[in-house]
Amino acid sequence: MKPSLLALSTVAAWVPTASAWGGFGHITIAYLATSFLSPPTTSYLQALLRNSTEDYLAGVATWADSFRYSKYGRFTANFHFIDAKDSPPTYCGVDFDRDCKSIEAGGCVITALQNYTTRMLDTTLSGYERAVAAKFVVHFVGDIHQPLHTENVARGGNGIHVRFEGREFNLHHVWDTSIAEKLVGGIHRKPYPYAKKWADELAEEIKGGKFKDVAEKEWLKGVNVSDAKGTAMDWAKESNKHVCSVVLPQGPKLIEGQELGSDYYEAAAPVVEVQIARAGYRLAAWLEMIVSSLKNETEILGSEESSSLSTSAPRLEAGDL
């Protein structure tokens, strides 16, 4: 029987984790979000996720990918994207009714973020169930900001074969991983220290650097957990615009089999950087709104009652991923 889209089996917490594709970007987004969370929100999430270290979000940032590829998580495959049936580079645009599958057919990243945001807010659920919801929310906010997670052409670029730095990849992988890793000078072994360093640099750019004004004036416009669907659609439309302008500026046929040279990288790198910065900043705001709505519960953290929130939540450490 197919698992419900509104709940997960408790087996979800024990699925073995691995370094999922795009892990570096997701982990960076999670670390970046922690730079903008208030102490009460930090305490709440650390208790919920059973992780009192600075890795409490980074440690679960790729969990949804690991779960997706397990035998228990196959039903979540559609949760990671929305397939915009547009025609880049002539026209890019996301339409919910056209592009998001029905709930019965698996939904999309828009409905997934809406659902798991609702579950984080639902105090009738156990701490464990809300911890699972939090892990999905952390991941899906990141997914929406990757342009090819909002595109249908060639399965979001997975079917477009290119070369990058002399190596063969599909275009989706280049945007998920290769560009971001090149931006920081390459990654060796575990991505966590590289992601933390980049997240700290992006946080400084948001707090007082090149992103300060635009972040304060633009990045949180219309962001509202009470309208999760509308907010997620705004983010998806913004992300999708980059498909026409930067990802596939000449269309899918002309890029097939080509080496993505310096001109392509120089156009793409700033987009990857700003999308990761936006995702981290917005994830922090999203989590703040959720936890603010649970004010009474956060006030009891540190007391005896707080243990009931976390006892059934899965223990996940950054090193487990």
Residue 13, pLDDT > 80, answer no
Catalytic one of 65, 83, 86, 99: 65
- Does residue 145 have an active-site annotation? no
User: What is the overall mean pLDDT for the chain?
Assistant: 88
Burial pattern 150-171, b for ≥16 Cβ within 10 A else e, equals bbbbbebbeebebebeeeebbb
Does residue 3 lie within any of the structural domains? no
Give yes or no: 98 in active site: no
Neighbours of 41 (CB within 10 A): 21
Q: Is 55 helix (H, G, I), strand (E, B) or coil?
A: coil
217 domain-assigned = yes
Measured between alpha carbons, how far is 11 from 3 in angstroms, rounded to an integer?
12
Domain assignment of residue 320, yes or no: no
Catalytic residue among 50, 119, 172, 282: 172
* 26 belongs to the catalytic site: yes
From 124, 87, 73, select the one nearest 251 (Cα to Cα): 87
Of residues 314 and 292, more confidence is placed in 292
94-129 pLDDT, tens digit per residue, is 999 999 999 999 999 999 999 999 999 999 999 999
pTM over 0.75: yes
The burial class, CB within 10 Å (0-12 / 13-18 / 19+), for 133 is: buried
Among this protein's residues, is 139 annotated catalytic? yes
If you average pLDDT over residues 82-102, what whole number do you get? 98
Type of residue numbered 55: D
Place 44 in a pLDDT band, splitting at 50, 70 and 90: very high
Helix, strand, or coil (residue 164): strand
Q: Is 68 a catalytic residue?
A: yes
Give how many domains the chain has, as a whole number: 1
In-domain check, residue 313: no
CA distance 315 to 14: 9
- Please tell me which residue in 55, 83, 86, 176 is annotated as part of the active site: 176
Task: Read off the CATH number of the domain in which 226 is found.
Answer: 1.10.575.10
- Decide if 14 is inside a domain: no
Phi and psi torsions of 42, nearest 5°? -60, -45
Three-state SS for 53?
Answer: coil
Torsion of CA 45, 49, 50, 56, to 10 degrees: -70
Is residue 117 within 8 A of residue 290, CB to CB? The reply is yes
Structural tokens at position 84: 């915009």
What is the predicted pLDDT for the residue at 296? 64
Task: Tell me the average pLDDT across 147-159.
Answer: 98
Determine the pLDDT at residue 298.
Answer: 54
* Domain-located, residue 1: no
Compute the distance between CA of residue 119 and CA of residue 253 in angstroms, rounded to an integer.
Answer: 42
50, 55, 68, 198: which is the annotated catalytic residue? 68
Judge whether 21 counts as a catalytic residue.
Answer: yes
Reported confidence tier of residue 316, pLDDT bands at 50, 70, 90: very low
Residues of the chain above pLDDT 70, percent: 85
**Which is the catalytic residue, given 55, 83, 99, 143?**
143
Q: Which residue in the list 119, 149, 278, 282 is annotated as catalytic?
A: 149
Would you say residue 6 has pLDDT above 50?
no
Tokens of 195: 């992601």
Q: What's the pLDDT score for residue 233?
A: 99
What's the rounded Cα separation, in Å, for the pair 177 and 96? 27
Examine the residue annotation and report whether 161 is marked as an active-site residue of this protein. no
Domain membership of residue 78 (yes or no) is yes
Residue 24 CA to residue 178 CA, distance in Å, equals: 10
More confident residue, 138 or 4: 138
pLDDT beyond 60 at 321: no
Cβ atoms of 225 and 289 within 8 Å: the answer is: yes
In a domain, 10, yes or no: no
Band the pLDDT of 45: cuts 50, 70, 90: very high
Which structural domain, as residue segments, surrounds residue 28?
19-304
Among candidate residues 50, 55, 63, 80, the one labeled active-site is 80
Helix spans in the chain (H): 23-34, 39-49, 63-68, 96-99, 109-121, 127-144, 171-173, 179-183, 192-208, 212-214, 228-242, 252-255, 262-292, 295-299, 306-310
